Amino acid sequence: MSPEDLLARLVGFPTVVGTPNGAVLEDIATYLRGFGAQVDILTGPEGDRSNLFASFGPRDVAGIVLSGHIDVVPAGEPEWLADPFVLRHEGQRLIGRGACDMKGFVAAVLAAAPAMGEADLAKPIHIAISYDEEAGCKGVPHLLAALPSLCALPEAAIIGEPTGLVPVLAHKGKAALRLVARGVSGHSSRPDLGVNAIQTLVPVLARICETAHDLTTGPQDARFAPPYSSVQIGTIAGGQAVNIIPDLAEAQIEARAIAGVSPRAILEEICADLPEGVSAEFLSDYPALALDAGDPLVALAEEISGHQAQGAVSFGTEAGLFQQAGIPAIVCGPGDIARAHKPEEYLTRSELEAAHAMVLALVVRCSA
C-alpha cells in the first residue's frame, strides 16, 4: 500500500484521545506481520487502550525506534468542510484529523514495511505506536517499562512529530494537574452558613499567576520561544447560580519547562501549602528533551532527512521520556505543527512522500 493509502486507512479510525484503540492496532499488527515483523500489543492499565511495538530484524541487537502516536484531538469544530475522519484530497493537501499530527508519519513508516521485511537488517528497526499522547504522553511510559522484555536497549529513537522533517534536538517538558476545592452549599444570603469553594480556590490561582510572572525572569534558554519556563491556568469551572454558594470548584493547571527545569517541581511548589478543602491531582508529566549536538543520532537524522538540525521547539513529545529511559532521541517528522489541532488539518503529498523516503533511507543505513 502507498503512504497515501495507509494515511487514508489510519484517518478512517476515529482514534480520539482517551478512547479505545484496539481496532486500529489490530489492523496495523496484521499488516506488519504480513511482512514478517514481530509484533506485540501492550495493553495499558486503562484496559481499553494499548501500545504497539513491532520489530524488523534481530531483537537482541541495539536498534533504532521510529516512534509515533495515532490518538488525535477531537474534531468537533464547525469549520470542518467534510467528515474529518475521511481523508479528503484538495490539490496537494491530504485533509483529515491527525493527517499532520501525526498519522502522516505513521503512514510513512508503515509504507516502508515491505522494504524492512525484505532487507537484511544488521540493526533492527522498531516501530513504536503509543496511546494518549495528546493527554500528556500517558501511554509511552508503559511501553518503555516493557522494553527490557522485548528487545535490547535501542541505541536511538526518532519521534515523528511534525517538524518539516527538520531534526530537533530539544523541547520543553510539561506537567499538568487538577485542583479541586470543596465547600458547603447554601443560599447566598447566608454566606456565614456555607463555604464558598470558588473563593477558597482563589488564593491558589493568585499564587499561580505570581509564579507565572516570576518564571519570566527565571532560568532562560534562548533556543525556546519564550526562552523561559511557564505556567498557566488552562480551565476553571464552578458554581451553579449567582445566588447559590458554590460547593465545588475545579481548575486545570499546566507547566512547561526548559531543559534543566522540572515542570512537575514548578507545580509541586505551588501546591506545597494548599488551603483546607483544596486538593491536587497530577494528570500528566513528561520531561524536556536535550540531545547533545555531537550525538551520532544527530548526524544520522540529518543524513536521512536531508535537513540540518535545529536547536529546539517549544511543544513537547515523548522524546524526553525515551531519553530519560537511556535512549537518545530526536524529533523529526513531516508537516507543520501550526496545522495541528485545527479544523481542515492537512499534510501535503510531497511531505508524506519525503517522510517515506526518509524511512527508506534508514532501512538502507541499517542493512548489512
Of 4, 71, 132, 161, which one is the catalytic site residue? 71
Q: Which residue has the cell 531483537?
A: 59
Look at strands 50-56 and 248-257 and give their pairing: unpaired
Closest CA to 154 of 59, 292, 51, 40: 59
Choose among 181, 39, 186: nearest CA to 113: 39
Residues 11 and 86: beta-carbon distance below 8 Å: yes
Task: Tell me the C-alpha distance between 266 and 212, whole Å.
Answer: 10
Q: How far apart are CA 98 and CA 88, in angstroms?
A: 12
User: How many other C-beta atoms are found inside a 10 Å radius of the C-beta of residue 267?
Assistant: 24
Cβ–Cβ contacts within 10 Å for residue 359, how many?
Answer: 24
Residues ≥6 apart with Cβ < 8 Å to 214: none
Give buried/exposed letters for 270-285 (b at 16+ CB in 10 A, else e).
bbeebeeebeeeeebb
Instruction: Tell me how far apart the alpha carbons of residues 327 and 320 are, in angstroms, rounded to a whole number.
Output: 9
Q: Is 71 a catalytic residue?
A: yes
**Catalytic position from the list 101, 132, 133, 345:** 133
Task: Characterize the bridge pairing of strands 156-159 and 64-69.
Answer: parallel
CB atoms within 10 A of CB 191: 12
Q: Which residue has the cell 468537533?
A: 76
Nearest to 97 by CA among 87, 107, 89: 87
* Contact present, 253 and 177 (Cβ < 8 Å): yes
For the chain, the C-alpha Rg in angstroms (whole number) is 22
d(CA 203, CA 199): 8
Q: Which residues are catalytic?
A: 71, 133
